Amino acid sequence: MAPPGGKRMKGVQIFRPFIYGTTARPFNDTDNPKPPGVPADHTHSWQVFVKGIEDTDIFYWLRRVQFKLHESIPNHLRTLDADAIIRESNAAAAAANNNSSNSKKPATAAQQQQQHPRAFVVNETGWGEFEITIKLYYDSRSGEKPQTLYHHLRLHPYGRTEAEKEAMRSGGEVVAWTYEEQLFNEPFEDFYHVLTTGAHDKGTKPPPTPTTGGGKGKGGGKGGSSSKPTPQQQQASADGSGGGGDVKERSAMIPQSNKPGQPFSRDTEALEIKRLREAGDKVHDMVRQMNKAIKDKEAELAQLKAENAVPANPTAAAKNNSANAGAGAGASSSGSGSGKAAATAPTPAPKTTTTAV
């Protein structure tokens, strides 16, 4: 890997949103028949992927993805390279244009991108669920080490409620997607330039990428294009705050509302924040109720201790005290008589021993 160029941009952090996960569909005779050659015990077709938000291009910062599947699957270690995917996508788009009739208009850039999105995708079939290891390899100019993600393949409907499970059953697909943001802390200058230039509308060609300088062209000026991105373009590329509601390519923009097949947006974020707040309020209410119950139990325990400290029958207690006092007096008298008898007993005469000579 070539060493990254330039110095690190101190105090700068740039993020890029992306999605990873799996989509599974059960085989049936209507809309998802089992292809020839698939083992008889395989019940689902599924795919695992890493892609951009709203299928935007992520190849300019993510260059390779490795999927580690279950060891029982042939060739269970799948490595996908961005350059190879681009070549295959361009070849497929060219073939589609060549096969189209003269009366039919050629596909636009947006339609081609929709048909051949720039994403890392593995398609498979199977019958069991397992954990997939996903390893991300970044552009060499980033200087970042590979990162590893873990995702559980879902083949059967799941959810927090039965309604969510039923909605997944009726939809015909088991969607297990995760929204993630890749953070680049203090990126190198060259990679920072890649991330903050070139934002453009989906379906259009990117603008010419200006160079960062470093060489001299004719006439003693700096080499490269003289055009520079506007501050608005740089801001849209850096943090996604550019104008308009549509997501731009090579930006950090997030859609405002959900679309079919695109479940992540600002509305989704607001709904999740609302759900978290409601859950937090519920937890706080449960804590208050528990604290109140604990205080009530402590008060009840203190009352029981106070009641047990007072004798239940004062008359019986007084009789027991009198009996104990009488027993103590008798023991004292007996001890005195024994002492007197011992004092009046006669002292035995001393013995005399005679020794014969």
Answer whether 110's CB lies under 8 Å from 59's CB.
no
50 token code pair: 């890493």
- The most confident of the ranges 2-6, 88-92, 213-217, 329-333 is 88-92
- Quickly list H helices, the chain: 82-99, 109-115, 162-171, 189-195, 231-239, 266-309, 314-344
Give 205's pLDDT tier (boundaries 50, 70, 90).
confident
Please give the pLDDT value at position 346.
55
Name the one residue in this structure whose structure tokens are 């001393």: 350
Please give the pLDDT value at position 295.
96
Give 265's pLDDT tier (boundaries 50, 70, 90).
very high
Please give the pLDDT value at position 311.
60
Please give the pLDDT value at position 326.
61
Mean pLDDT of the chain: 80
pLDDT at 12 over 90: yes
Answer whether 180's CB lies under 8 Å from 17's CB.
yes
Name beta bridge partners: 149: 134
CATH assignment of 1-31+41-95+117-199, given 3.30.2310.20, 3.20.20.140, 1.10.3720.10, 2.60.40.1970? 2.60.40.1970
Half-sphere exposure of 223 (CA within 13 A, CB side): 4
Q: What is the pLDDT of residues 127-169, one digit of tens each?
A: 999 999 999 999 999 999 999 999 999 999 999 889 989 988 8
Give 91's pLDDT tier (boundaries 50, 70, 90).
confident
- The most confident of the ranges 106-110, 122-126, 251-255, 339-343 is 122-126
Residues 6+ apart with CB under 8 A from 28: none
Name beta bridge partners: 180: 18
Give 80's pLDDT tier (boundaries 50, 70, 90).
very high
| CA atoms of 145 and 139, how far apart (whole Å) | 10
